[in-house]
Amino acid sequence: MKKTIIIGGGPAGMQTALNLAQRGVEPVIIERENELGGKLRDWHVLFPTFTPASDILTELRRKIREKGIEVHLSTEVESFTAQQVELTDGRTLTCDAVVVATGFALFDARIKEEYGYGIYDKVITSADLERLFNEGQVAKAAGEHPRRIAFLHCVGSRDEKVCQQHCSRVCCVTGVKQAIETKRLFPEADIFNFYMDIRMFGPGYEELYREAQQQYGIHFVRGRISEAAPTHDNRLQIKAEDTLTGRPLRMSVDLLVLLVGMRANDENAAWAVKTGLNRATSGFLQPQDLFLHNVQSGIEGIFYAGAVTAPKTIGETVNEATAAANAVANYLAKA
């Protein structure tokens, strides 16, 4: 039986493995963390349906166990070719193909010092908020009865100053989803979304955006927050401009949530040098093309799945994993 090593045990890696097993190919998952799931483990509910992320993760893990798929946890990859994968512990695993499904990294909000992340307690990221939703601890950050909560879009996306010019695509709808979740927790609070452009590209996204405004009364302000500073009463004062009216804004909030964007993994650069893979200007790994070969790397026997090539939703990631598995199986059938 032909063997394929999948680097990354998030939703892309798990779905790729499951589809390969169905096609009669032996998959082996290499995951650096001590459990499968990737960043899906950190999500509370998924947009636009508010489906619990744990439902998706539990099902994928269950199927991996039932199929008896070989998994190496707490294991990191040093380098690879289509025929072998070198691990950081010195081991070498041989294979017939490799799928890179290592996903993305989150922008470090501390780089945007003007917002005070890591300095002020009342400033958190969207990733932090997902964790607080899961733990039932949002009131610990916002207070038991917050009066006003602000979300800031595009932190680490479409920003030349921090060398992140690409759009992360999912931040807008994440902001809408999280604003609704927050409003449900604190119905008396005023919720504001500060944005450059609202990009609702997916099925049900525009409807969710309208629902946020019409049903929940969430405010959307076109403009960027320029700075944030603590107040004497343990709140946060933010300064911004409403670019639609041309008027400056100043308000005090109980919590500022920074919607951090997806960025390319740090190891992409090293892997590109060692393996000859191409990188896009964004730093993400670049597929052979964006149409008929979007899961092929351009190097025979090496394939991609998920957000390693660009920001993607969970649905897109799972669908692309299926496409990657099919491409691998077809390649191995001809080898």
Question: What mean pLDDT value characterizes the chain?
Answer: 96
pLDDT range class, residue 325, cuts 50, 70, 90:
very high
Domains defined along the chain, listed by start:
3-104+264-334 (3.50.50.60), 109-261 (3.50.50.60)
Q: Is 103 in contact with 18 (CB distance < 8 Å)?
A: no
| Residue pLDDT, tens place only, 147-159 | 999 999 999 999 9
- Position 133 scores a pLDDT of 98
DSSP letter string over 59-73? HHHHHHHHHT-EEE-
Report the pLDDT averaged over residues 98-109.
98
- Position 245 scores a pLDDT of 84
Report the pLDDT averaged over residues 117-133.
97
Report the pLDDT averaged over residues 116-141.
97
- Going through the chain in order, the beta strands assigned E by DSSP cover 3-7, 26-30, 45-46, 51-52, 70-72, 77-80, 84-87, 92-94, 97-100, 105-106, 123-125, 148-155, 190-195, 219-222, 225-230, 236-242, 247-253, 255-260, 262-263, 302-304
pLDDT greater than 90 at residue 295: yes
- Position 185 scores a pLDDT of 98
Based on DSSP, count helices (H) and strands (E) in the chain, helices before strands. Answer: 8, 20
pLDDT range class, residue 242, cuts 50, 70, 90:
confident
Report the pLDDT averaged over residues 86-115.
97
- Sheet with strand 92-94: strands edge to edge: 77-80, 84-87, 92-94
| Residue pLDDT, tens place only, 173-203 | 999 999 999 999 999 999 999 999 999 999 9
Instruction: Look up tokens 């289509």; give the residue.
Output: 82
- Position 141 scores a pLDDT of 96
pLDDT range class, residue 244, cuts 50, 70, 90:
confident
pLDDT greater than 90 at residue 130: yes
pLDDT greater than 90 at residue 112: yes
| Residue pLDDT, tens place only, 17-68 | 999 999 999 999 999 999 999 999 999 999 999 999 999 999 999 999 999 9
DSSP 331: H
